[in-house]
Amino acid sequence: MGIILAVSNNKGGVGKSTTTANLAHALSARKKRVLIVDADSQCNLTSTFLGSPWGGNSLLELLDGDGVPAEACIIPAPDYERLHVLPNKTDSAALEPALARREDYGWYMLRDRLRLHAAKTFDFTLIDCPPNLGLFSIQAMIASDFILVPVEAGSRYAMDGLDRTIETIGGIAQADPDNPSGRFLRLLINKADRRTAVSKVTIEQIQQSYPGRVFSTIIPVNTDIQQSEMLSKTVLRHASKSPGAQAYRSLATELLGILSQ
């Protein structure tokens, strides 16, 4: 059975979508079958891999009403071998209040409608969460085996919201004894520029505050990563030998090692 991994942080701008896209590509390059789930109504990953606006089946159709089967919503990513996408539409944001009113069931819909198919079909499923702890983020955590939390090293506000995110992850696991999912995996230090005092201090604070819970791999600030986003590509596709691409390959290697323990 495959691994389902949510990429989540209550704070925006920390690189969740970038991490999801590039880690997914790095894993697929290691001969893994990978599914990307775009759970953010901003649809960044849908645009990156499939173009925008997306007009076919999506997360919206999967979760709305009786739901379209998961396999009918998953699209092969053009030009990316072994990589598939469950796209999203901006209209999905309007679905959140209705799902939240469906008592407990609304929180479990993504797990119930996607998890079995994803785990059987793909080696890895990576869910890109919205920049909040709303229903879609909680759905993603409940549907997942593990949660990866990116944190920006270049901001003095990097630690804001981290404790709340990690507490939410722990609360989900405790509230659902039938679901061993939603285990906090690691923090990923992102956008690090070791030339600056802010980055150096932030990295040290994160590592000291969460010992044993931080990836050794640190994703650097890299213009190739920024350029790849502008071109709607992964950095591994845009600049395969860049420090950014090398860092995501290292992250994939480290992740596989952790999960094999």
| Percent of residues, the chain, with pLDDT higher than 90 | 76
The CATH number covering residue 57 comes to: 3.40.50.300
Residue 180: per-residue pLDDT:
57
Residues spanned by the domain of 228: 3-260
Over the stretch 133-158, which tens digit does the pLDDT of each residue have? Answer: 999 999 999 999 999 999 999 777 77
Contact 202, 158 (CB under 8 A): yes
159 close to 124: Cβ distance less than 8 angstroms: no
The predicted pLDDT at position 167 comes to 87
The predicted model gives 183-206 an average pLDDT of: 92
Confidence of residue 224 (pLDDT cuts 50, 70, 90): very high
DSSP annotation of 176: -
pLDDT digits (tens, 9 = 90+) for 6-47: 999 988 889 999 999 999 999 999 999 999 999 999 999 999
Q: Of 70-79, 160-169, 214-223, which range is least confident?
A: 160-169
Q: How many other β-carbons are positioned within 10 Å of the β-carbon of residue 246?
A: 18
> Residue 207 pLDDT > 70, yes or no?
yes
Output phi, psi for 6, to 5 deg: -90, 140
Number of domains into which the chain is organized: 1
Q: State yes or no: pLDDT of 177 exceeds 70.
A: no
Average pLDDT rounded to a whole number, residues 171-180: 68
One-letter amino acid identity for 120?
K
